[in-house]
Amino acid sequence: MVDVSGKTSTFRQAKVAGLLKITETHRDAIHKLPKGDALTIAQIAGIQGGKKCSDLIPLCHQIPLSHLDVAIRLTDDGIAIEATARTDAATGVEMEAYAAVVTAGITLIDMLKGVSPDLILTDVMLMEKTGGKADWLRE
């Protein structure tokens, strides 16, 4: 692991977005799945995934999350997933937001694959981060 013991704890926030491309068949079935409400279950799974980030990614620091929100909504393009993670720590919180988006996305795939396996999780990207060396915003 990278040694962050000499760094000062500061407020840090990261926002990551992703998109699950679905078919019309998926869209028609999304609220009638045997496993339940896919959007709510994926939201909870995303939060759990973000909280377990350091267990999933080798050498990733375990940091205290002060907030982790996962928003999931149907769009014309598919299912948009966005995670916002916050901490007061000596290292960033981007990986927790990434883990939240990807976990929510693969949970949706698990729930929808029985309808059709034609699903694509794409465009997973950092949208913005604050704190640390410098703030960053995707333009």
Report DSSP state, residue 16: E
CA atoms 86, 92, 93, 94: torsion sign: positive
DSSP string of 71-110, one letter each residue: EEEE-SSSEEEEEEEEEEESS--HHHHHHHHHHHHHHHHH
Residue 22 lies in a domain: yes
Residue 2 lies in a domain: no
> Exactly one of 3, 110, 123, 135 is catalytic; which is it?
110
CATH number at residue 64: 3.30.70.640
From first to last of its 139 residues, the chain has per-residue pLDDT tens of: 898 988 888 899 999 999 999 999 999 999 999 989 999 999 999 999 999 999 999 999 999 999 999 999 999 999 999 999 999 998 889 999 999 999 999 999 999 999 999 999 999 999 999 998 899 999 9
> Domain count of the chain?
1
pLDDT of the residue at 1? 87
Residue 139 lies in a domain: no
Q: Is the pTM of this model over 0.75?
A: yes
E strands, the chain, in order: 10-21, 65-74, 79-89, 120-130, 136-137
Owning domain of residue 17: 10-130
pLDDT of the residue at 122? 98
The token duo for 83 is 């995670």
CB 26 within 8 A of CB 84: no
The residues, ordered by sequence, that sit 6+ positions from 69 with a Cβ below 8 Å of its Cβ are 47, 83, 84
Residue 110 lies in a domain: yes
Residue 15 lies in a domain: yes
123 is catalytic: no
Rounded distance, CA 134 to CA 17, Å?
20
pLDDT of the residue at 91? 87
Residue 63 lies in a domain: yes
